[in-house]
Amino acid sequence: MNGNDKAGYLKVRDVIKKFGEFTALKGVSLDVGEGEFVCFLGPSGCGKTTLLRAIAGLDIQTSGSVEQAGRDISTLPPNERDFGIVFQSYALFPNLTVKKNIAYGLENRKMPKAEIQTKVFDLLALVGLTEHGDKYPSQLSGGQQQRVALARALATSPGLLLLDEPLSALDAKVRVHLRHEIKMLQEKIGVTTIMVTHDQEEALAMADRIVVMNHGVIEQVGTPEEIYADPATPFVADFIGTTNFIDGEVQAGGQVRVAGLTLDCGPAVDGMAPGDKVTVCIRPEDVQINEAAGEGVPGGIAVKVTDVEFLGSFHRCHVKPMNGNGAVNGLEFMVDLSANRARALGIREGMDIHASLPAELVRVYRSTASV
Amino acid sequence: MANGATTAAATPPVVKPKVSGEDWIMRAVLMGIGLYLTVSILLPLYAILSKSFKNADGVYIGLSNYAKFFSTPALFWSIQNSLTVTLICCVIVVTLAFIYAYALTRTSMPFKGLFKGVALLPILMPSLLPAIALVYLFGHQGIFKSWLMGHELYGPIGIVMGECFYVFPHVLTILLIAMANSDARLYEASDALGASKIKTFFTVTLPSVRYGLVSAFFVCFTLVITDFGVPKVVGGKYNVLATDIYKQVVGRQDFEMGAVVSMILLLPALFAFAADRIVQRRQVALLSARAVPFEPKKDRVVDYGMLAFCSLIGVILVSVLTMAAFASYATFWPYNLTLSLKHYAFDMMDGGGWDSYYNSIELAAWTAVIGTAMVFTGAYLVEKSKGFKTGRAAMQLLCMVPMAVPGLVLGLAYVFFFNAPGNPLGFLYHTMPILVICTVTHFYTVSHLTAITALKQLDAEFESVSQSLKVPFYKTFFRITVPVCMPAILDISMYLFVNAMTTVSAVVFLYSPDTALASIAILNMDDAGDVAPAAAMGMMIVGTAAAVRLVHAVLSRGILARTQAWRKR
């Protein structure tokens, strides 16, 4: 065969993209396996769309290579590559009906008319638009238009499906519904898929693997669980979910000194020497709360609740650590409590409680890495 | 960077994107159109420029021709004359058109549609025709001669009157567009802050249209100073630059002096063009996507005042056209006013007869078809092709050049270029194709900008999607781009057709006895004293242009309603 292995269906190597003086991608390398659903996630301007467009050949990289199914496609124009694409605007042809839109790529392949019809019919059924085939795009809702764009991209059975922020033009409810549908569809037909998004929730819900990007570099690649539970950098910890950041200094014995308190961080500080400046991170929902001080939970600290935000299914409490003579200067962090737990504790502003930061859930980063 | 050397050494090789067959096709077509514009505008301009530095024998004599121009008072006074009438026209027309546009956009005056239609009437006629109508109204045997209180029509008065009529719709169109972009929120805010109407006008209305006003001024300036039809008919002994070119070349056969005057006429036109481009670039930033359209409120005093004003203007515009029509039907002005079609027997007169009319139709049709195809294809490639940045930018610049070149200068430049001994394209001289080439080029810029505007409104990713579907660009061009842009394409073709019918300036040096045109026939019949037949030929052009506009309207409503069903929800 042609050296096509499942693990490396798409191989991106050292891709650099410059727009004049500005470097949008600073040497990106990445492997995508066959049938995988990968999300490029990052804030706007991080280079995720640039990377997607380089893979598509729409804006070819300044240097570096792209290989798909064992074929070097680095220099090829889009029409010599093998992909289907859905844009944020959908780019549906306004003067063609839904059916004609979907058939657009097929009609050019000298496929018999009957075969095209069957294929279009199947695709319409696949995206649940059977009865809308003869309408024009402007007569459809945003979600329906998005599905037409998807069907059109899949019509030619491409080896790679590229989705450029496909959901961000839709309203919230439709978005949640469609992301589930797209995921099911992708699993059903098994097409290798790359989706660009700035919405972390979307990425967590849909992707097999997430590529977190920032300032033109990849910060971390991993499954949604890995990215969330074990962020490789403070940026990832901050961008995905919510995290408390606390500056500190490593001490002997796996401990970190933070503004007058000593936290037990266990294996998280392995490989760091005492005196290293670090940033301690813990997610608000990982902080454990006990009713009152004095229960003697190891690693626990006495805190005062300064503010409680009601956020529907949970409460976010802002707390300040206390010592003998009042609040510890400049230190405050967030604690998330489920509605049940908050009710059981009777949480309210001004309350004195006891918080503990479980060592296995605390992450410590060297301070050089800025957020 | 301290380690610049090592960084440079480590720089990975730059990826050279493969240029596909399609890219080559696109580049070739783009270069083809670029070559066309080079041959049809740049080279002729060079020819006329170099001619102005040579004597009749083709020997280079430096600035001697220019020295002669400036030492001959009869010649250089034309500069002052031209500037005088042009500036007077600008002040009058911009003021009147501004009030007219204000009435149409910012008041609840009745009959707005009617007034808008009436104001556009002059577009349908060559500028010679209103001038001829003025002869009948205020000339030696004019009905209203006494209104001039003993002053002579022929001269600056006639030129100003004729030009004001001729440029009014052009200036009005610009001001209407500028005023349409008003933001109701600013008026509400001004109202809420208790500002008076007058104050609101000066603090909100005027600033928001200032770029439009400047633009209108420059367009008016360029149109008037380069127009040839009006001063030719009612200029009398008052020489202006445009008529000087014609007199030097056609009257005195002094081609070199014609070239010098052309260069001098090119200067103010170039200046106005450059200034207008700068202003237009600024205007873009003014529009906000969240602006709320302004809905004028009823105000009896303002509304009826404006109605009176617009009616006055409307009556003037209609009466000029009516006068021309009546003049063409009156058997023998002013002695026998019974109506007849006697003056429409063009074959009995000099000037080319009915053939000239058919030639005009032929020229207009070719110009519309070839011009639209070329302009739209060129605009598409400039806007949508990939890579080849320098080529596309150069092309965009090239497309702007025709706008800056007055028709007379272009026409004379063609004479020098195509008639030069040894030019392999010389066979085109005195043929229909050269008239088509000249007219397409003359009106290229406005058409190009219309096409670019339409193309910019398309989704930028249509081309990307078709590439991913492996559909060649030309299929998408014909199946998607052209149908979706059909309204703009029809606009362009109508613009080219009507202008080809009415233009005089560029083609006046280029026609041959076999390719005489209707607009030229007007000129020649008027010269020969056959003023009524000239008016009749003018009415033929007006009728044809109006019919084409009607067809265009029907097409836009009828056929477009079918092909553009997708526009409806």
Name residues whose C-beta falls within 8 Å of residue B85's C-beta, 6 or more positions apart in sequence.
B156, B159, B160, B163, B224, B231, B238, B240
Beta bridge partners of A249: A257, A277
Beta bridge partners of A22: A19
The Cα diameter of chain B in Å comes to 97
Q: Give the number of A-B residue pairs with CB atoms closer than 8 Å.
A: 107
Closest CA to B266 of B404, B403, B438: B404
* Cβ-contact B157, B151 below 8 angstroms: yes
Q: Which backbone phi and psi does B443 adopt, to 5 degrees?
A: -105, 20
Q: Is A157 on the interface with B (CB under 8 A)?
A: no
Distance from CA of B10 to the nearest CA of A (A): 12
Cα–Cα separations (whole angstroms), residue A354 to A258, A302, A334, A351: 17, 5, 13, 10
Beta carbons of A104 and B471 less than 8 Å apart: yes
pLDDT at residue B568, as a whole number: 54
| Residue B2 banded pLDDT, cuts 50, 70, 90 | very low
Count of residues in chain A: 371
Closest partner CB to B470 (pick from A79, A93, A96): A79
Distance from CA of A155 to the nearest CA of B (A): 9
Closest CA to B384 of B314, B456, B321: B456
User: What residues of A are in contact with residue B563 (Cβ under 8 Å)?
Assistant: 95
Closest partner CB to A74 (pick from B15, B567, B569): B15
User: What residues of A are in contact with residue B464 (Cβ under 8 Å)?
Assistant: 56, 58, 78, 85, 87, 91
Q: Is A159 on the interface with B (CB under 8 A)?
A: no
Kindly report the three-state secondary structure assignment for every residue of B125-154: CCCHHHHHHHHHHHCCCCCCHHHHCCCCCC
| Residue B170 banded pLDDT, cuts 50, 70, 90 | very high
Q: Which residue has the tokens 């009058």?
A: B92
Q: What percent of chain B has pLDDT over 90?
A: 53
User: What residues of B are in contact with residue A146 (Cβ under 8 Å)?
Assistant: none
Three-state secondary structure call for residue A299: coil
Cα–Cα separations (whole angstroms), residue B430 to A31, B108, B419: 67, 53, 9
Closest partner CB to B464 (pick from A85, A109, A138): A85
Closest CA to A193 of A49, A9, A28: A9
* Rounded Cα gap, residues A304 and A349, in angstroms: 8
> Tens of pLDDT along chain A (371 residues)?
344 456 789 999 999 999 989 999 999 999 999 999 999 999 999 999 999 999 999 999 999 999 999 999 999 999 999 999 999 999 999 989 999 999 999 998 888 999 999 999 999 999 999 999 999 998 899 999 999 999 999 999 999 999 999 998 888 888 999 999 999 999 999 999 999 999 999 999 999 999 999 999 999 999 999 999 889 999 999 999 889 998 888 888 778 888 667 777 777 777 788 888 888 899 999 998 876 555 455 557 888 899 999 988 899 999 988 876 666 667 888 999 998 888 888 888 888 888 888 888 888 888 764 44
Beta carbons of B22 and A77 less than 8 Å apart: yes
- Stated as kind and residue range, the H or E segment containing A354 is strand A352-356
User: What residues of B are in contact with residue A99 (Cβ under 8 Å)?
Assistant: none
| Residue B5 banded pLDDT, cuts 50, 70, 90 | very low
Residue type, B509: F
Distance from CA of A87 to the nearest CA of B (A): 8
- Stated as kind and residue range, the H or E segment containing B43 is helix B43-51
pTM: 0.87
Closest CA to B343 of B133, B142, B531, B542: B531
Contacts 24+ apart (CB under 8 A), B267-274: B268/B82, B268/B83, B268/B221, B268/B222, B268/B225, B269/B222, B269/B225, B269/B226, B269/B404, B269/B405, B269/B406, B269/B409, B270/B404, B272/B218, B272/B219, B272/B221, B272/B222, B273/B218, B273/B222, B273/B403, B273/B404, B274/B404
Closest partner CB to B12 (pick from A14, A96, A156): A14
Beta carbons of A108 and B465 less than 8 Å apart: no
Beta carbons of B475 and A78 less than 8 Å apart: no
Beta carbons of B461 and A91 less than 8 Å apart: yes
Closest CA to A91 of A145, A127, A158: A145
Count of residues in chain B: 569
Instruction: Find the DSSP H helices in chain A.
Output: 48-56, 98-107, 113-126, 142-155, 172-189, 200-206, 224-229, 234-239, 339-345
Establish how many alpha carbons lie within 13 A of residue B455's alpha carbon, considering only the half-sphere containing its beta carbon: 22
Closest partner CB to B461 (pick from A76, A84, A87): A87
Q: Is A105 on the interface with B (CB under 8 A)?
A: yes
Establish how many alpha carbons lie within 13 A of residue B461's alpha carbon, considering only the half-sphere containing its beta carbon: 16
Closest partner CB to B12 (pick from A16, A56, A155): A16
Establish how many alpha carbons lie within 13 A of residue B514's alpha carbon, considering only the half-sphere containing its beta carbon: 6
Closest partner CB to B459 (pick from A80, A85, A89): A89
Distance from CA of B462 to the nearest CA of A (A): 6
pLDDT at residue B342, as a whole number: 83
- Stated as kind and residue range, the H or E segment containing B413 is helix B407-418
Residue of B nearest to A161 (CA): B468
Instruction: Find the DSSP H helices in B284-299.
Output: none
Closest CA to B232 of B159, B137, B305: B159
Rounded to an integer, the average pLDDT of B200-205 is 84
pLDDT digits (tens, 9 = 90+) for B118-158: 999 999 999 999 999 999 999 888 888 888 888 888 999 99
* Rounded Cα gap, residues B531 and B508, in angstroms: 18
* Rounded Cα gap, residues A247 and A326, in angstroms: 20
Closest CA to B403 of B497, B559, B266: B266
Closest CA to B544 of B487, B508, B497: B497
User: What residues of B are in contact with residue A58 (Cβ under 8 Å)?
Assistant: 464, 467
pLDDT at residue B283, as a whole number: 61
* Rounded Cα gap, residues B318 and B339, in angstroms: 19
Beta carbons of B15 and A83 less than 8 Å apart: no
Tokens for B205, please give them: 């209305």
Q: What share of chain B is helix, strand, coil (3-state, %, to 5)?
A: 75, 0, 20
Closest partner CB to B480 (pick from A57, A87, A93): A93
Give ipTM to 2 decimals: 0.84
pLDDT digits (tens, 9 = 90+) for B413-451: 999 999 988 889 989 988 999 999 999 999 999 999 999
pLDDT at residue A288, as a whole number: 87
Cα–Cα separations (whole angstroms), residue B344 to A3, B330, B568: 83, 11, 47
Residue of B nearest to A55 (CA): B468
pLDDT at residue A371, as a whole number: 41
* Cβ-contact B448, B377 below 8 angstroms: no
Q: Is A108 on the interface with B (CB under 8 A)?
A: yes
* Rounded Cα gap, residues A214 and A371, in angstroms: 10
Residue of B nearest to A140 (CA): B569
Cβ of A304: how many Cβ atoms within 10 Å? Answer: 17
- Stated as kind and residue range, the H or E segment containing A218 is strand A217-222
Three-state secondary structure call for residue A231: coil
Residue of B nearest to A61 (CA): B15
Distance from CA of A84 to the nearest CA of B (A): 6
Test the A interface: residue of B22, B468, B559 with most A CBs within 10 Å: B468
Q: Is A28 on the interface with B (CB under 8 A)?
A: no
Rounded to an integer, the average pLDDT of B510-535 is 90
Q: Produce one character per residue of B301-333: b if its CB has 16 or more CB atoms within 10 Å, e if not.
A: ebbeebbebbeebbeebeebbebbbbbbbbeeb
* Rounded Cα gap, residues B247 and A305, in angstroms: 95
If 0-12 CB within 10 Å is exposed, 13-18 middle and 19+ buried, where does residue A275 land?
exposed
Closest partner CB to A83 (pick from B14, B459, B468): B468
* Cβ-contact A42, A208 below 8 angstroms: no
